[in-house]
Structure 1
Amino acid sequence: MKVIKEGFTIYHNFPIKALSNKVFKAIANPDELVHWWPLKCSGKPTIGAEYNFFFGEPYNWFGEVVECKENTSFHIKMTKSDKDWNPTTFGFDLFEKDDGVTWVHFFHKGWIEQNDHFKHSSYCWALLLNGLKNYVEKGIIIPFEKRN
């Protein structure tokens, strides 16, 4: 019997004071992703579409949309990145509450080991997701070179 190992996962759950459609646009629309994550981005929020996340050379990464439910979920399977990220999938699941707050359940799964890059990526995601929150709630855009 073959045992399948799923690897390790980064999780971050947090509220954003906005409706889910606004949060979804910020996580799935390349024109808005660049306000809180990559320097440049392209792609369409449809299953099977390719996204390009460009962070400056040599960080020109690609992923495939593996789940996309408008205003509910958006997941990307990395296809061309560095060796630690290649086997991984990251995603956002959105849960809108009655009081105009959307809870974001973020994950980045499939890490082979909990190495220094895993730990650093978890920290970076926390900072970037706070940038997402500030962008959606307050319109704050942190310049790319200061997103570290």
Structure 2
Amino acid sequence: MSHSIYFNFIIKSDKFSVYKAVSEPGHLENWWPLKCSGIPRVGEQFNFNFTDKYDWYAEVTSCKQWDHIHYKMTKSDDDWNSTTFGFKLKEKDNGTCLNFFHTDWSELNNHFKHSSFCWAMLLNGLKSYLEKGEIIPFEKRS
């Protein structure tokens, strides 16, 4: 049995800006990793660098510009290596609905619970980044 994290919420921004924020390294660095590189195209590798100890890699497994992007972890913590996370966007009258998922966790352990909490905090930071232009310094991101 695998476990999953899901969040759906509205960001008061257009889907083009939201897509860029979840798929372009320069924007990802403003709300998630310290450093990032990659090209939002199926088969491409992304590097999510948080520290020297947490220098993670993922492969883009599905991607449609302005619609969605999915990342399959390839080098990370053991708990994350089996997982895939991604973002699906749907334009609404009041902004963009972001559907987030992080699936295929093998255990419902403390790391899963901590990651679920961190994703909620980070996605709130993404929302603030897009709606208000706020960038939380990396050291203050949970």
Choose which of 57, 64, 69 in structure 1 pairs with 2:59.
64
Q: Secondary structure at the residue paired with 1:25?
A: helix
Work out whether 1:113 is the aligned partner of 2:107.
yes
CA positional deviation for 1:100: 4.7
Choose which of 137, 140, 143 in structure 1 pairs with 2:137.
143
Identity within the alignment, %: 58
Choose which of 124, 128, 141 in structure 2 pairs with 1:134.
128
CA positional deviation for 1:57: 1.8
Q: What per-residue deviation string (whole Å, max 9, x for no partner) do you get for residues 63-86 of structure 1?
A: 000011111101000000010000
Choose which of 66, 73, 89 in structure 2 pairs with 1:78.
73
Equivalent position of 2:10 in the other structure: 15
Work out whether 1:50 is the aligned partner of 2:45.
yes
Q: What per-residue deviation string (whole Å, max 9, x for no partner) do you get for residues 34-72 of structure 1?
A: 000000000000000000000012000000000111111
In 2: Cα distance, 1:48 partner to 1:18 partner: 28
Q: Spell out structure 1 runs of 4+ moving beyond 6 A.
A: none
Which sections of structure 2, spanning at least 5 residues, go unmatched? none
In 1: Cα distance, 2:94 partner to 2:65 partner: 17
In 1: Cα distance, 2:94 partner to 2:108 partner: 36
Q: Secondary structure at the residue paired with 1:57?
A: coil
TM-score, normalisation: structure 1: 0.94
Work out whether 1:36 is the aligned partner of 2:31.
yes
Q: Which amino acid aligns with 2:28?
A: L
Length, aligned pairs only: 142
Q: Secondary structure at the residue paired with 1:35?
A: coil
Q: Over the residues paired in the alignment, what is the CA RMSD in angstroms?
A: 0.7
In 2: Cα distance, 1:111 partner to 1:10 partner: 9
Q: Secondary structure at the residue paired with 1:27?
A: helix
Question: Which of the two has higher C-alpha Rg?
Answer: 1
Which sections of structure 1, spanning at least 5 residues, go unmatched? none
TM-score, normalisation: structure 2: 0.98
